[in-house]
Structure 1
Amino acid sequence: MSEDFLRLSVVGRILRGRWRLLVVLAVLGALVGAAASLVFSPGYRTSSNVLLQGPRENAELLTEAQIATSSVVLERAATALDWGVAGAELADDVTAEVVDGNVIEISGTANTPQRARELADIVAEQYVTFSAQLVSSSADASAQVMRERREALRQQVAMTNERITELHSAMTSDVTVESVQARTELEGLRTALAQAMNELNQAEAATGRANLVVMGPAVLPASPAPPTLVQLTAGGAVLFFLLGLFGHLAAARADRRLDSEPEIAAALGAPVVASVDVPDQREAAGTRRYGRLLRGLLGTKRPWAPPPPVRPRGGEQDGVYRRALARLRGGSNSPEHLLAVAADDDPRARAAAGRLVTAAAQPQGRRTAVGLVEVSATRPAVPGMAERAGRARVVVVVSAGTRTAWELVGIASACAEAGLDVAGVVVAHSAVFPGRQPKPGPPRDAGVAVGDEAMAGSS
């Protein structure tokens, strides 16, 4: 693949060539998502709101939220629910958070809508009750001191009222401007003291109770809380589909095997003398039936890139091999000794090399003697042919898209170490021939030997 492997045309070729596999991956992802919903789907969820009256600091609100989910509140809620569960088991199903307006939202989660609403209402009720008990049980030393100070303040106010009454009575009966102003100021002072006493009494009464109000019962949930079974199933299908698609793109990007004939020729340092079509030997020769059936169902028998070229009919292939031998002779009428080199793990290349030997054994190819050698692609070793009469050269047979540039360079180097020149390259492509399949290799009596120097077509 080139650096433009993310083009839409490449994605389209993947979708056309691997749509069955992608569909299977999507179905598998849907099954995984459905199985995950048994663990990650929370069920039904609803909330009950509790209002904290009066001005509150942020730290105080956070503390109240923690109290709402404390172990004491949950234990009391578990006892009130009578579901046969402990309070610690409710910790994962109950949450509390502070929302706008001094409101604490207590959420409950259960497997049915009724149980979710009941859980949220009971926890909110127990939280308000517990907070009220905390406020009422705060009669410590500091609270006692404050009460004594308020009582002393009441006594001082009462004494001030008595003194105002005495001053008002001691005034002369003469009506003057000064006396009227004094009486008015004394009555205003008496009214202010009375209002202060009322406010003090109200504040004292307010400190004896918790300013928490439940803002109505929780709403009965109509649908499960996300992520639901449908969401997880659809998400798993989409995720596995995208993983399969991007997996193909990543594999194509990381693939360094050469599928272009000019690139193959450049790596071997020799021209391409023929481009032949050979049936995929992995499918034709002894592949397990279940493996073939699975690849057929998934649509992975053929590579998705590059697109398969138009294949000629099987009968025209013999002429392609004869023309390849003619190009290798280069118009010379002298006998030519060739060594066909193919990788031992490339059945398509071995089949093409065998047919090249068969073509040399025919009457039209008597001027060329061809031997077949299979080499290891990782550690190639080619036997020398210096003792042969005439020129000895090598034709490398390789399948498109099976070898990297370094592997081809290694084969060319092994030929050079054996004193052989690479005269040309035969590139084999995968093909599906209609009707009768051509024979993958020459008959045993054609003089072909793998790994030795036996020749075919020698005159």
Structure 2
Amino acid sequence: MSEDAIRLVTIGRIFRRRWRLLAIVALVGALVGYGASLLFPPSYTTSTSVVLAGQWEERELLTQTEIAASSAVVDRAAAALDWKGVSAADLRDQVKATAADGNIIKISGTASTPEHAQELSDQVAKEFVTFASRLAGDGTESDTEAGPEALREKVVQTNRRISDLADAADPGQTVEGVQARTELEKLRTALQEAMKKLDEADPATNKANMVVMGPAALPTGEAPPTRTQLIAAGALLFFVCAVIGHLAAARANRRPRTEPEIAAALGSALLGTVDVPGERLEHRTQGGARGAGLRRILGLDTRWDVPTPQPSGGEAGRQTRYRRVCARLRDRVPGSRRLLVVVPDTDEIAHRAAAQLVTEAQNDPSATSSSRRNPVLRVVEVSMSRPLVPDRDTEAGALVVLSAGIWTSGELGGIAEACADAGHQVVGTVVAGAVRTRQRRTADHAPQHTAPPVAVGNDAGGGAG
């Protein structure tokens, strides 16, 4: 796993073998999300639209959105609402303005209740229209005569003066009188057209024309993040972190996984690999007796990063592997000698393989002389945390049987040291692996040779079995 790419099959293996732990971690994350929702009270958001008449450029609309959410507008709205315990500074963080298509400014207000959110949006929109109209209109009282209203008054006075001049002209039908009145009417028409164009071009007339498109709608749901969203986010976050933690631990795994690496860690020769049939065989991890029940419930007593067993090659192929291991044992330990078979106490696959080796060693159809007989095997369990091997009595050495990929180099070295302390030489290593059988065995198709009771012990006496 440390050198392989992370694939979907790896993620699926985590889900399949650690689903209890992942479910509990997700539940804890949901509880954390619920606790976070208690720290953040629910809020409600609604918005009011303000239409701006005339032609507006994009940068001018952005300016208007800044004005709508400015302190000058929000402070006036806060003074008008006069909510207890809510200051103008608090409302500034609860008001937002955005520009939409069609010269529309959307003013959003957020509050702790739907009614307050509606009141806040409406009041800010009202204050914004008033403030913008004051900026664009006749708010410059220091220069009133120079403004548009003063110019209109001058035009009205000029029209009156033109009327007086027309009345004072020659009332007769002389050519001079008619021409004078015609010129005065042309002047009056020109002034009226000029005022009309001035009104159309005056930004104070057009851009001050803002209309609020009705009151804000009463919110029917909480603004995000809602309590449900916080709970779901907490569960998802913890779930993803748990999966990433599994992957990170697997990437950092430096356990020997190949047969040569395991044999090198034990300082012995590799005698072969054997298969153990059974799809439900699991690699159990070590744990204290006090936490064994909890680890079993959470699935922590089973390794998840061990590959799925491969299909079996058949009963004949499996027995051939065991016979070859026994043959290599005969070559390394000639004569009818005794050997200890050292097996980790939590390795179920290794236990099955050791039992089958004992069976094959007892059933020796190929032996023709006493010098070619298989050695007598006695199985002993050792704790990987504190390995202890029985002292040497009549045994000629020790044979280590274990699974691949679940023990560290330090643990394998501990077994080798325990064998050396007891006076046993590690004559070889057998690596066992689980395989899937093609069909379940029935009572009618049971194997001919069943494993006899195996002597298992962890005592220091180490008598012959």
User: TM tier, shorter chain?
Assistant: 0.5 to 0.7
Paired with 2:197 and 2:245, the residues of 1 have a C-alpha distance of: 75
Aligned equivalent of 1:401, options 398, 405, 408:
405
Aligned equivalent of 1:213, options 195, 211, 214:
211
Paired with 1:132 and 1:328, the residues of 2 have a C-alpha distance of: 102
The amino acid across from 1:50 in the alignment is: V
Paired with 1:205 and 1:62, the residues of 2 have a C-alpha distance of: 17
Aligned equivalent of 2:462, options 440, 446, 449:
446
Q: CA deviation at 1:220?
A: 1.1
Normalised by the length of structure 1, the TM-score is 0.64
**Structure 2 residue 106 is matched with structure 1 residue 105:** yes
**Structure 2 residue 303 is matched with structure 1 residue 287:** no
Report the CA distance shift for 1:422/1:234 in structure 2 as closer, same or farther (over 3 A): same
Alpha-carbon contact 1:339-1:393 (below 8 Å) kept: yes
Alpha-carbon contact 1:68-1:124 (below 8 Å) kept: yes
Q: CA deviation at 1:189?
A: 4.8
2:141 match: 139
- What is the CA deviation profile of residues 420-451 of structure 1, one whole-angstrom value per residue up to 9, with x for unaligned ones? 99742134779xxxxxx97753433226xxxx
1:30 match: 30
Paired with 1:217 and 1:232, the residues of 2 have a C-alpha distance of: 31
- What is the CA deviation profile of residues 233-260 of structure 1, one whole-angstrom value per residue up to 9, with x for unaligned ones? 2333334333333433443344232345
Following superposition of structure 1 onto structure 2, how do residues 419-434 of structure 1 map, counting pairs within 5 Å? Answer: 423-427=427-431
The answer for unaligned runs of 5 or more in structure 2 is 312-320, 364-372, 386-391, 435-452
Paired with 2:183 and 2:123, the residues of 1 have a C-alpha distance of: 56
Report the CA distance shift for 1:209/1:140 in structure 2 as closer, same or farther (over 3 A): farther
Paired with 2:272 and 2:197, the residues of 1 have a C-alpha distance of: 109
Paired with 1:120 and 1:159, the residues of 2 have a C-alpha distance of: 48
3-state DSSP of counterpart to 2:269: coil
- What is the CA deviation profile of residues 141-176 of structure 1, one whole-angstrom value per residue up to 9, with x for unaligned ones? 5x554569838974995599479959985998579x
**Structure 2 residue 74 is matched with structure 1 residue 69:** no
- What is the CA deviation profile of residues 154-205 of structure 1, one whole-angstrom value per residue up to 9, with x for unaligned ones? 4995599479959985998579xxx999987875454233332455578889
3-state DSSP of counterpart to 1:50: strand
- What is the CA deviation profile of residues 80-102 of structure 1, one whole-angstrom value per residue up to 9, with x for unaligned ones? 22321111111222111222222
Report the CA distance shift for 1:220/1:139 in structure 2 as closer, same or farther (over 3 A): same
Q: CA deviation at 1:44?
A: 1.6
2:253 match: 255
Paired with 1:287 and 1:264, the residues of 2 have a C-alpha distance of: 28
Cα RMSD, aligned residues only = 5.7
Q: CA deviation at 1:110?
A: 1.9
Alpha-carbon contact 1:348-1:428 (below 8 Å) kept: no
Paired with 1:25 and 1:89, the residues of 2 have a C-alpha distance of: 37
- What is the CA deviation profile of residues 101-158 of structure 1, one whole-angstrom value per residue up to 9, with x for unaligned ones? 22221111123222211111122222223334444432245x5545698389749955
Q: CA deviation at 1:57?
A: 3.8
**Structure 2 residue 315 is matched with structure 1 residue 299:** no
Aligned equivalent of 1:229, options 227, 230, 234:
227
Q: CA deviation at 1:18?
A: 1.4
3-state DSSP of counterpart to 1:98: strand
1:12 match: 12
Paired with 1:412 and 1:332, the residues of 2 have a C-alpha distance of: 18
The amino acid across from 1:139 in the alignment is: E
Paired with 1:376 and 1:205, the residues of 2 have a C-alpha distance of: 88
Q: CA deviation at 1:214?
A: 1.6
The answer for unaligned runs of 5 or more in structure 1 is 311-319, 378-384, 386-391, 431-436, 448-455
Bigger mean CA offset, 180-189 vs 222-231: 180-189
Report the CA distance shift for 1:264/1:181 in structure 2 as closer, same or farther (over 3 A): farther
Q: CA deviation at 1:213?
A: 2.1
Report the CA distance shift for 1:230/1:348 in structure 2 as closer, same or farther (over 3 A): closer
1:272 match: 271
2:4 match: 3
